[in-house]
Amino acid sequence: MAEQKEQTKIEKKTLPVALIAQILFAIVNLGLIGTGGYLVYSSTIGWTSPKITEEQLVDQRNKEEAQNSTAADSGPLVYTMDKFTANLAGEPKHMIRVEVNLEMLGKDGFEEVINPDNRAKARDHIMKILEEKSFADLETIQGKLFLKEKIATEINGLLDQGVVKDVYFSEFVVQ
């Protein structure tokens, strides 16, 4: 009988702890559900579009036009070179046909790259770069990106004032 009294005392002591833990767990869950419900409501159903007046639209359009006019004056210029046809290194023999566009940072660089002397030197350097590459070097996206970087580095080395910002390929065919 003494053992039964001890067991009931132990059960009575553990029962309130378990009950308190369940109640606490239920309260935390209800709080989380309520918070989640509020966040969903405020981000979807409760969202209202901002009010834009005609004056704000006119001001924004004027700012964009002002930025575009200054960007056109001092912005980057793109020079499209004639198409290149070159034999690639390695076996089996492959041929590449590529059209290179150079994006220059300013008008000074653009004028420098269209100078006939610099244009011939740039074409020569690009031909050398293409002839050093193999088909395996150029068949991946990473290979094309490395080729762009190499061309930009070589052309920047030729120019005194101008800077090639980026190189674009408008045609890239390997056979």
The 10s digit of each residue's pLDDT in 131-151 is 999 998 888 899 899 999 999
Confidence of residue 39 (pLDDT cuts 50, 70, 90): confident
Specify the DSSP element, H or E, that contains 84.
strand 84-87
Has residue 99 got a pLDDT over 90?
Answer: yes
Q: What is the reported pLDDT for 4?
A: 61
> 10 Å Cβ neighbour count for 96?
19
pLDDT digits (tens, 9 = 90+) for 43-78: 777 667 777 788 888 888 888 887 766 554 555 688
Give the per-residue pLDDT at 113.
Answer: 86
Element housing 136 (H / E): helix 135-138
pLDDT at 1: 57
Percent of the chain topping pLDDT 90 = 26
Q: Which residue has the higher pLDDT, 42 or 171?
A: 171
pTM to 2 decimals? 0.56
| CB-CB contact of 166 with 155 (8 Å) | no
The pLDDT of residue 114: 85
pLDDT at 19 over 70: yes
Average pLDDT over residues 105-115: 84
Q: Burial of 163 by CB count in 10 Å (0-12 exposed, 13-18 middle, 19+ buried)? A: middle
β-sheet bridge partners, residue 100: 169
- Segment 111-134 shows an average pLDDT of 89
Residue 44, pLDDT score: 78
CB 87 within 8 A of CB 131: yes
Average pLDDT over the chain reads 83
43 or 3: whose pLDDT is higher? 43
